[in-house]
């Protein structure tokens, strides 16, 4: 499951696991430093460094795409600076950590060792929980964990000599091999599942692996589009409305994506919840204001939204060339998310 819905609030599972992993990591540091005279001061400092990193990552989109943010201020609420934002947040966090430890005279080998252990416990917890929730574990996540192990190894060798370091090196090697084997196994399992989904009998539903429910709707141009007519193309079915704030943040990302990949045998169907609109004039004005360049379908009685269980908007389904659901997103999509989850599937 990639998200949780609590009423109208959508929480990404990866965000929840990140927060819980940070708490687990900080608690680990707190336990290791239980007799340290500056324990509370250290934990508070680490918490502040972590929150600063999160804030920098979240707002980094304004630094990397200032014109886009000026034109679409709501992007600050729903999107981040992506991979570049992560790198910037890491640099800022490390710089702040070094500054704070020197200013408060907190630096010690035991502090560094406890932080490394806390990082490994927290990141390991995140990997395990995301695997249990069925989320994709990226090479970047595994690499970060293994790099953390290597840093801990080097630091331990410096502290305790090569003998203990050699034992840790063996442990790191085993963990690396196991991690890589698990990752390859998951990839192969996913390929087998994908093949069986296409070749076997597939039930109609709205879960990943189901065949998407059929529909045929009028467009804002008074044409009719049927889902069955798009077989052979990847199809993105997006449910939205003009009054929906996250939809307003998402649409420019979709327009940019469609402009870039329109020739890639894919189609975006923007299904408007017309039964919730004040009138068609609102839909037309929205389309013109945001230069929507893909078909806008009108769900005038809400039947299609109901069939797809689009209780929270925006809600998006990604269908493969055979009409099978391969991804679902509750909440606004970013350009990076679309590249990763639409093109790579």
- Give the residue among 69, 65, 79 at the shortest CA–CA distance from 12: 79
- Residue 114 is predicted with a pLDDT of 87
Residues 111 and 63 in one domain: yes
The full DSSP string for 75-86 is: HHHH---HHHHH
The pTM of this model reads 0.62
* Continuous segment of H or E residues that includes residue 256: helix 245-261
- Determine, yes or no, domain membership for 334: yes
- Residue 169 is predicted with a pLDDT of 56
- Residue 73 is predicted with a pLDDT of 77
Residues 181 and 33 in one domain: yes
- Residue 39 is predicted with a pLDDT of 80
Residues 174 and 226 in one domain: no
What are the two backbone dihedrals, phi and then psi, of residue 72, each rounded to the nearest 5 degrees?
-135, 75
- Give the residue among 325, 99, 97 at the shortest CA–CA distance from 204: 325
User: What phi-psi label fits residue 332: left (phi over 0), alpha (psi between -120 and 50 degrees) or beta?
Assistant: beta
Residues 103 and 187 in one domain: yes
Q: Pick the last residue of a domain from 134, 168, 196.
A: 196
- Determine, yes or no, domain membership for 238: yes
* Continuous segment of H or E residues that includes residue 102: helix 82-103
**What are the Cα distances from residue 245, in Å, to 78, 156, 240, 269?**
10, 50, 10, 19
Question: Distance between CA 163 and CA 242 in Å, rounded?
Answer: 65
- Give the residue among 97, 138, 102, 96 at the shortest CA–CA distance from 118: 97
- Determine, yes or no, domain membership for 206: no
Residues 114 and 29 in one domain: yes
Residues 40 and 161 in one domain: yes
Residues 225 and 190 in one domain: no
- Determine, yes or no, domain membership for 241: yes
Residues 42 and 104 in one domain: yes
Chain centre distance of CA 264: 23
- Residue 70 is predicted with a pLDDT of 83
Residues 231 and 148 in one domain: no
Question: Distance between CA 329 and CA 337 in Å, rounded?
Answer: 10
- Residue 184 is predicted with a pLDDT of 52
Which CATH number covers residue 277?
3.40.30.10
- Determine, yes or no, domain membership for 150: yes
How many of the other CB atoms lie within 10 Å of CB of 340? 14
The range of the structural domain enclosing residue 312 comes to 216-343
- Determine, yes or no, domain membership for 211: no
Residues 150 and 267 in one domain: no
- Determine, yes or no, domain membership for 209: no
- Residue 285 is predicted with a pLDDT of 94
Question: Distance between CA 53 and CA 88 in Å, rounded?
Answer: 8
Residues 15 and 75 in one domain: yes
Angle of helix 39-64 versus helix 13-32 axis, rounded to 10: 150
- Determine, yes or no, domain membership for 192: yes
Domain count, the chain: 2
313-316 LR contacts (CB < 8 Å, sep 24+): 313/239, 313/240, 313/241, 313/244, 313/246, 313/247, 313/273, 314/238, 314/239, 314/240, 314/244, 314/246, 314/247, 314/250, 315/238, 315/239, 316/236, 316/237, 316/238, 316/239
Q: Pick the last residue of a domain from 165, 196, 227.
A: 196
Residue 145 near residue 130 (C-beta atoms within 8 A): no
Residue 329 near residue 341 (C-beta atoms within 8 A): yes
- Residue 199 is predicted with a pLDDT of 41
Residues 160 and 236 in one domain: no
Query: Which residue ranges in the chain fall short of pLDDT 50?
Result: 1, 185-199
């Amino acid at each position: 499951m990639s998200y949780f819905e609590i009423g109208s609030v959508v929480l990404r599972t990866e965000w929840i696991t990140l927060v819980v992993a940070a708490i687990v990591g900080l608690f680990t540091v707190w336990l290791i430093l239980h007799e340290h005279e500056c324990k509370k001061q250290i934990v508070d400092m680490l918490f502040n460094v972590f929150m600063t990193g999160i804030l920098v990552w979240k707002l980094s989109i304004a630094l990397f795409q200032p014109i886009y943010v000026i034109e679409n201020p709501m992007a600050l609420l729903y999107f981040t600076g992506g991979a570049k934002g992560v790198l910037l947040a890491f640099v800022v966090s490390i710089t702040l950590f070094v500054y704070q430890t020197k200013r408060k005279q907190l630096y010690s080998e035991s502090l560094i060792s406890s932080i490394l252990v806390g990082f490994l416990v927290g990141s390991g917890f995140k990997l395990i929980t995301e695997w249990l929730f069925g989320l994709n574990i990226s090479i970047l996540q595994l690499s970060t964990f293994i790099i953390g192990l290597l840093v801990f190894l080097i630091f331990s060798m410096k502290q305790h000599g090569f003998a203990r370091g050699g034992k840790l090196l063996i442990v790191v090697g085993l963990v690396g091999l196991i991690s890589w084997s698990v990752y390859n196994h998951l990839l192969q399992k996913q390929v087998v599942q994908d093949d069986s989904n296409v070749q076997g009998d597939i039930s109609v539903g709205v879960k990943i692996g189901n065949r998407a429910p059929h529909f045929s709707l009028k467009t804002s141009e008074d044409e009719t589009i049927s889902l069955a007519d798009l077989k052979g193309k990847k199809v993105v079915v997006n449910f939205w409305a003009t009054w929906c704030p996250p939809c307003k943040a998402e649409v420019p990302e979709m327009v940019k994506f469609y402009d870039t990949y329109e020739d890639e045998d894919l189609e975006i169907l923007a299904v408007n919840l017309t039964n919730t609109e004040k009138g068609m004039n609102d839909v037309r004005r929205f389309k013109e204001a945001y230069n929507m360049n893909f078909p806008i379908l009108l769900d005038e009685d809400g039947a299609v939204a109901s069939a797809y269980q689009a209780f929270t908007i925006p809600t998006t389904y990604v269908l493969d060339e055979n009409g099978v659901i391969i991804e679902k997103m509750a909440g606004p999509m970013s350009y990076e998310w679309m590249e990763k989850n639409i093109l790579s599937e």
